[in-house]
Amino acid sequence: MLTCPSNALHSSTPHLWPIRRSRLLRSRNFPRFHSGGGNFCSLSLLSARSSARRLSVRALAGPDAFEDGLAFPNHVSVKIPFGSREILVETGLMGRQASSAVTVTDGETIVYTTVCLADVPSEPSDFLPLYVHYQERFSAVGRTSGGFFKREGRTKDHEVLICRLIDRPLRPTMPKGFYNETQILSWVLSYDGLHAPDALAVTSAGIAVALSEVPNSKAVAAVRVGLIGGEFIVNPTVKEMEESQLDLFLAGTDTAILTIEGYSNFLPEEMLVQAVKVGQDAVQATCTAIEALAKKYGKAKMVDAIRLPPPELYKHVKELAGEELSKALQIKSKIPRRKAITSLEEKVLTILTEKGYVVDEAAFGTTEAQPELLEDEDEDEEVVPEGEVDQGDVHIRPIPRKPIPLLFSEVDVKLVFKEVSSKLLRRRIVEGGKRSDGRTLDGIRPINSRCGMLPRAHGSSLFTRGETQALAVVTLGDKQMAQRIDNLEGCDEYKRFYLQYTFPPSSVGEVGRIGAPGRREIGHGTLAERALETILPSDDDFPYTIRVESTILESNGSSSMASVCGGCLALQDAGVPVKCSVAGIAMGMVWDTEEFGGDGSPLILSDITGAEDASGDMDFKVAGNEDGVTAFQMDIKVGGITLEIMEKALIQAKAGRRHILAEMAKCSPPPTLSLSKYAPLIHIMKVHPSKVYFLIGSGGKKVKSIIEESGVEGIDMQDDGTVKIMANDTASLEKAKAIISGLTMVPAVGDIYRNCEIKSMAPYGAFVEIAPGREGLCHVSELSAEWLAKPEDAYNIGDRIDVKLIEVNEKGQLRLSVRALLPESELDKDRQKQPPPTGDSTKSSPRKYVNPSSKDRAATGASGEELVWRKKDVRKATGGDKPMKSNSSSNEEDRGSLVNGEATIS
């Protein structure tokens, strides 16, 4: 592009700015800049050839033109505190067409976040149109995703959880009446394996929203707090978190706490409050820096886009439905109460959107004085001279007229009706100290629980608390049933325990879509899973993969905490040796009590219902036992809460958990506390690590043959020599144990094996199975005290004999003997029956001597001179002295290789 002064753009003649030299970048993408000879074409067309002074043009696309000062004039790079360290925040460099885009760096972990808004507001609703998407790119660690499609697919569960962590603290800071669709996109572009990206992503989103046009009220930041060695650490590294007793995620503003979520190992409430205090101090420092950054570089907020219902509409809804709505809110049962409120809402909608509302209902049908000029027709018409005016014949007569009705939009009426209902519910709690179902502030709904509902399941329970009911089912399995997790760590992770939460629309009496689990289901299931994970035994004590399936059959608040209670009972019913029982409870709050005649201090509600959750200001879920907390999650719907309120809620929740645990102990029928007869059997045995490959075999042939021969379900082997056998019955399990023990045992010379089966015969001896899958050779000379021409003269295949191990050669082959176990008297008889050696036999030297050990000689009384002759060739009984040629050389080699494969100890 050519540049020129501004006046040149308006001049009548072309004007070019004179520059010494012309340099155009040669590129194959622009062939029009090439001449036939390969040189750049002349730009003489831009000026007269006869010009005395040559002009040239310098392209601004040169290398020096892309400096930050020219191409990125709004590039900002600052460091802000992030716990015990600082993070680098950059904006104006990437994603400049978004409302705001920031890149946040912690170590070598980089998170990129954008915020975009729709130009036109959407239809008003009671839910802020905020959408959050978080994704961890495998390229951040130099990898690609597995499977056929080499790109990131659907959102993973842990990414959904981080999406919720971003959404929940930002939503309370958004103003009511802002209906422009807002989308927050967050990607992990680089990950160093040391600095976790989740808290960084929430902080990055808080910075992006603060710099954007979204009219939020406060800047938001988040931190993680760990407890390592008795000390609270803010934003610990991934390696440090492996030793932590607490995993606390906290998000808030510079003045209040908005969200906390975490898991601990029965941490007392007092220590949890201290951890929150440490996290809040770190969040305040980060938020203060974000506010200063937004004040200097942020965009103007879209305050004019806020659209609220007409103020007078609140008064009209109260006049139409106030009294009836108060009565409907006092109905204890959920479904009748919902139907009564819905019917009343339809009535209000009809009046305010169709018929119209009149300020004074008594005015309907009345007359209103309306001046109107009418002539009196009764009087005779008089002639008025020209130029004179007589106004005596004009009279004012009133006529009847209805007032003009007021009409409102349906959306505004619904929004106001919901808010009026919420205020009436709060007023009843503050003024009367009673809730919709008649309970006090700390009252717990009636609880009923039973186990063993499903006979074929490994464990089951039905937990009912008021109108909330959860069916929990436990399934036990081996490692093949474990949940595989593909993450940025670079190694496959398997979860041996997982809880899956299902919330069908029938649980609330509605018709809805059935499909993949939504974000709410994933979040509730993870919370219940972490609450129960702490009480599970170790893998060494209970080598099962455990799956808990919680299906909500009825829901009226606290369904995730009902999953904790039901899941705990189902684990006990499945025979899982849990450390203790745990329970969960959901706490609520009424923040502004002064509006309804209170003293201004917030009220804490125990075991909240669905209506109290929707109309209240807090949803604080706490799970644990009588002594400590295992999992917690808090969402705030107002500007935030203080530590004092949180501490009060934790103390009240502890009393509620103790009551629930006492009710769970009354479960009837109670948990069986033993493995179901339909549950698989798992046995753990240890072998030498060097035997693992031998047990697996080439391509897994050996372990597959063991599974097929024994009839077990599966065998899992680890590099450290741990072998897990899973079977459906005891017989197959014992058989697999015997085979593996036989294949991996280390035989010693002198060991005696009883009742061993002869598996096969050869001219030179018999192959005897001393253990399942383990054979040795008993030479024909060792089969009997008497001389045998062939093994079949004394034994047949399938006979059972007692043998003694007399030798293990360098190849690991086993030599067995029956003679070594015979009494001394039989050996003496055998020596007497044997003829003296002939001349021919003495000429041929023996092939090998087998020298029994001193221990064997002592047992049998044999001396060192009593040796057994072993011949290479076997003569036929009727064949005279002529030696015959052995036809079993090839068979002997084949059998020797078989012995190698079966009996060699590798």
Q: What's residue 185's pLDDT? A: 97
135: tokens are: 């994704």
Q: What is the mean pLDDT of residues 147-152?
A: 75
Q: What's residue 676's pLDDT? A: 92
Band of the pLDDT at 741, cuts 50, 70, 90? confident
Q: What's residue 401's pLDDT? A: 57
Q: What's residue 123's pLDDT? A: 84
pLDDT at 322 over 90: no
Q: Tell me the DSSP string of 810-859.
A: TT--EEEESGGGS-HHHHHHHHHHSPPPPHHHHHSPPS------HHHHHH
Rounded CA separation 804/759 (Å) = 16
Q: What is the mean pLDDT of residues 80-109?
A: 95
pLDDT over 90 percentage in the chain:
53
562 — phi, psi (to 5°)?
-65, -30
- Is 721 within 8 Å of 774 (Cβ atoms)? no
Q: For residue 48, give the DSSP letter.
A: -
Q: What's residue 638's pLDDT? A: 82
Least confident window among 35-44, 506-515, 578-587, 677-686 = 35-44
Q: What's residue 187's pLDDT? A: 96
Q: For residue 715, give the DSSP letter.
A: E
Q: What's residue 370's pLDDT? A: 46
Least confident window among 522-531, 544-553, 775-784 = 775-784
* Residue 735: its H or E element: helix 730-744
Q: What is the mean pLDDT of residues 352-361?
A: 69
Rounded CA separation 577/564 (Å) = 16
Task: Write the pLDDT tens digit of every residue in 506-546.
Answer: 999 999 988 889 999 999 999 999 999 999 999 889 999 99
Q: What is the mean pLDDT of residues 318-338?
A: 90
Q: E strands of 383-454, at which residues?
A: 394-396, 447-451
Rounded CA separation 781/177 (Å) = 101
Least confident window among 208-217, 613-622, 878-887 = 878-887
* Residue 619: its H or E element: strand 618-624
Beta-strand relationship, 109-117 and 130-136: unpaired
Least confident window among 199-203, 356-360, 829-833 = 829-833
CB atoms closer than 10 angstroms to residue 620: 25
pLDDT at 598 over 50: yes
Band of the pLDDT at 19, cuts 50, 70, 90? very low
Band of the pLDDT at 743, cuts 50, 70, 90? confident
Q: What's residue 36's pLDDT? A: 40
Q: What's residue 220's pLDDT? A: 96
Band of the pLDDT at 270, cuts 50, 70, 90? very high
302: tokens are: 């879209």
Letter string b/e over residues 207-231, b meaning 16 or more CB atoms within 10 A of that residue's CB = bbbbbbbbbbebbbbbbbbbbeeee
Q: What's residue 96's pLDDT? A: 92
pLDDT at 143 over 50: yes
Rounded CA separation 186/102 (Å) = 10
Of residues 899 and 455, the one with the higher pLDDT is 455
pLDDT at 813 over 60: yes
Q: For residue 439, give the DSSP letter.
A: -
* Residue 566: its H or E element: helix 559-573
How far apart, in Å, do the first and last CA atoms of the chain sit?
77
For all residues of the chain together, what is the average pLDDT?
A: 80
Band of the pLDDT at 872, cuts 50, 70, 90? very low
Q: Tell me the DSSP string of 197-227.
A: SHHHHHHHHHHHHHHSS---SS--EEEEEEE
The vertex-429 CA angle with 424 and 435, nearest 5°, equals: 100
pLDDT over 70 percentage in the chain:
77
Of residues 285 and 775, the one with the higher pLDDT is 285
CB atoms closer than 10 angstroms to residue 283: 30
Task: Write the pLDDT tens digit of every residue in 26-80.
Answer: 333 333 333 344 433 433 333 333 333 333 333 333 444 444 445 678 899 999 9
